[in-house]
Amino acid sequence: MKRLTTTAAIIALTAGTAVYAQETNMDAAKENADAAVQNAEQAMENTGDAIEKKTDEAVAEGEQALDAAGDKMAEAGAEMKQEAGEMAASADNMFNGASDGLIRTRDITGGAVYAIDADGDMTDWEDGMAYDTVSEDWDNVGEIEDIVLNADGSFRGIVAEVGGFLDIGDKHVLLEIDNAKFVPIDDGEYSVVTNMTKDQLMELEDIDEGPMN
């Protein structure tokens, strides 16, 4: 009887230990699950913060790029306006003015092209310089063949036939307004004087005049 009681006690103790161990394991599993949930929530929160930060940075970079592009466009517009003004001033200085304020192509084409110093050095124009007569010291280096305009209609320069003799060995070059000025002559027509030398004119790119003839 005593042995039976002892055996029953051992069985009860063993069962109690198993139940305790099972409960302990369940508590640990629950704690681990709670910790995993908390870690996942923290990770999601961190990811959300990172995405929001990246989004803010991208928006700031985009705004900065737009501002820079706007500044560049404004700067380019100002430069174009300045260049247009300078070109208009150059055109005004190139012409010495007609009595009625009008310059006609028929009064220009066919006129002579003179060089201030054909065989020397390139001459520097002075601001606002204009000529009202042909100087005896100038050298006749060619003839005005055509008028050249920019795409916006502004005056660009003339096509000059330079070099050669009796149309042999000559070439047609673009003489820009910065390097030429119109000079009125007695019959109401115009000649052109350039600050370039004969060699410099001959080094300019040859313009094909074939389609215009």
Q: Which helix (H) or strand (E) holds 48?
A: helix 2-94
Bigger pLDDT: 137 or 15? 137
Cα distances (Å, whole numbers) of residue 70 to 49, 57, 65 = 31, 20, 8
**Can you tell me the distance from the alpha carbon of 135 to that of 137, in angstroms, rounded to the nearest whole number?**
5
Average pLDDT, the chain: 78
The amino acid present at 155, given as its one-letter code, is F
Asked if pLDDT for residue 78 goes beyond 80, the answer is: no
Q: Say which range, 62-76, 80-94, 107-121, 182-196, has the weakest mean pLDDT.
A: 80-94
Specify the CATH number for 99-212; select among 3.40.50.880, 1.10.3210.10, 2.30.30.240, 2.30.30.90.
Answer: 2.30.30.240
Asked if pLDDT for residue 132 goes beyond 70, the answer is: yes
* DSSP 8-state class, residue 206: B
The amino acid present at 129, given as its one-letter code, is M
The amino acid present at 148, given as its one-letter code, is V
Query: And the tokens for 212?
Result: 């215009």
Residue 93: what pLDDT? 53
Asked if pLDDT for residue 128 goes beyond 80, the answer is: no
* DSSP 8-state class, residue 203: H
Place of tokens 């508590």: 27
**In the chain, where the domains are located:** 1-94, 99-212
Query: And the tokens for 42?
Result: 């923290």
Collapsing DSSP to helix, strand or coil, 88 comes out as helix
| CA-based radius of gyration for the chain | 46
Bigger pLDDT: 201 or 55? 201
Asked if pLDDT for residue 120 goes beyond 60, the answer is: yes
